[in-house]
Amino acid sequence: MKKSRWGILGTAGIARKQLIPSLQSSDMCEVVAVASRDIEKAKQFAQDTHIAHYYGSYEALLEDPSIDIIYIPLPNHLHVEYIKKAVSYGKHVLCEKPIALSVADVEELIALRNSSGLMIGEAYAMYYQPRLQEIKKLLTSGSIGEPLVGHGVFFLTNNDKDNIRNAYTVGGGALWDIGVYPIAVGRWLFGAEPVEVSCEIENDKDFNVDHFTSGLLKFPSGGRLSFSCGMKHPSHTHMSFSTQTHRIEIEKTYHSDYPHSQFFEIFTGDYPSKGKKVSFDPVDQYRLECEAFHNSIFNNEPFAGSLENSLSQTKTIVALFKAASSKKVERV
């Protein structure tokens, strides 16, 4: 099997800690180069992560003819610019979320993908968790009824004034950084797109970004998804979904590498009731995601982080910001 050859555009922590080790463990993919605007930083990063080649500019990596796929973990406001540049060099692109900060930008990326014939995807690795896929099957099959109510949270502590997630000018803030996760999972498990949203945002007076955000999404069926996200709280992720007859609880929802949290609980009947625990072996969701992206290119298989999914996600996020500003329910 021919391995896809990946280049890493930037030295972000998620590349070092998650994506590069996952690619290096894959039989389908290999990391061949990394780039930084600082050649010494690129050299040290390459040595630390056992990557053979390094470049002192992003353009130099994009010019490398041996690379098939570019992974972009750059700050949010640079995503679209470097996706366009990568495609101009004939590269497929997997970009970290959020792939863009406006609906118009996502629409432009769809047109670029269609005209170039190159694959552009958004990195939401949790779609490749076996436990979330099993919940998706349960809800899609109708065996436990349709989802009526969902709720998701994502909290963490980030008080670093130099962290880009606390910078408004680069697309920082809780909603763009972590609120996207419960929204993405909720839309996917409801199997529909919201038609209306409401939202409340509390801004950080020091950083001028939202540090606590809550919202409500209403779906065509009448189902509702509520969510909360914040960057001034103890770390916690959780989601729950209720149908007419069942309730599902999911701890540490967006990660699949915690050995003691790879399960969901399903409850029936009135509260309190004893739930059934459905367990799974830990998996590397980043490796599974990268291999799925490889297969979307070389085997024409579907990829969960498609630009069509990105468009619906971005429309929802933009509508939530609008609702927070207007203090009204807004159409998506």
The residues annotated as belonging to the active site are 97
Q: Give the list of residues 6+ apart from residue 153 with CB closer than 8 angstroms, or none.
A: 182, 227, 228, 229, 236, 237, 238, 239
pLDDT in tens, 218-270: 999 999 999 999 999 999 999 999 999 999 999 999 988 766 779 999 999 77
pLDDT in tens, 42-95: 999 999 999 999 999 999 999 999 999 999 999 999 999 999 999 999 999 999
Average of per-residue pLDDT across 298-320:
99
Q: At what angle do helices 130-141 and 180-190 cross, to 10 degrees?
A: 40
Report how far residue 114's alpha carbon sits from residue 169's, in angstroms, rounded to the nearest whole number: 30
Q: What stretch(es) of the chain map to CATH 3.30.360.10? A: 127-283+314-331
- Note the CATH number of domain 4-123: 3.40.50.720
pLDDT in tens, 247-257: 999 999 998 87
- The pLDDT of residue 259 is 67
- The pLDDT of residue 272 is 67
Average of per-residue pLDDT across 20-35:
98
- The pLDDT of residue 1 is 74
The closest alpha carbon to 253, from 152, 174, 180, 175, belongs to: 152
- The pLDDT of residue 206 is 86
What's the predicted TM-score (pTM) here?
0.96
Least confident range of 161-165, 173-177, 306-310, 321-325:
161-165
Could you tell me the fold of the domain covering 127-283+314-331? Dihydrodipicolinate Reductase; domain 2 (3.30.360)
**Residues 142-173: b if buried by 16+ CB within 10 A, e if exposed:** eebebbeebbbbbbbebeeeeebbbbeebbbb
Q: What stretch(es) of the chain map to CATH 3.40.50.720? A: 4-123
- The pLDDT of residue 174 is 97
Q: Count CB-CB contacts under 10 A for residue 16.
A: 16
113 within 8 A of 307, measured Cβ to Cβ:
yes
DSSP conformational letter for 275: P
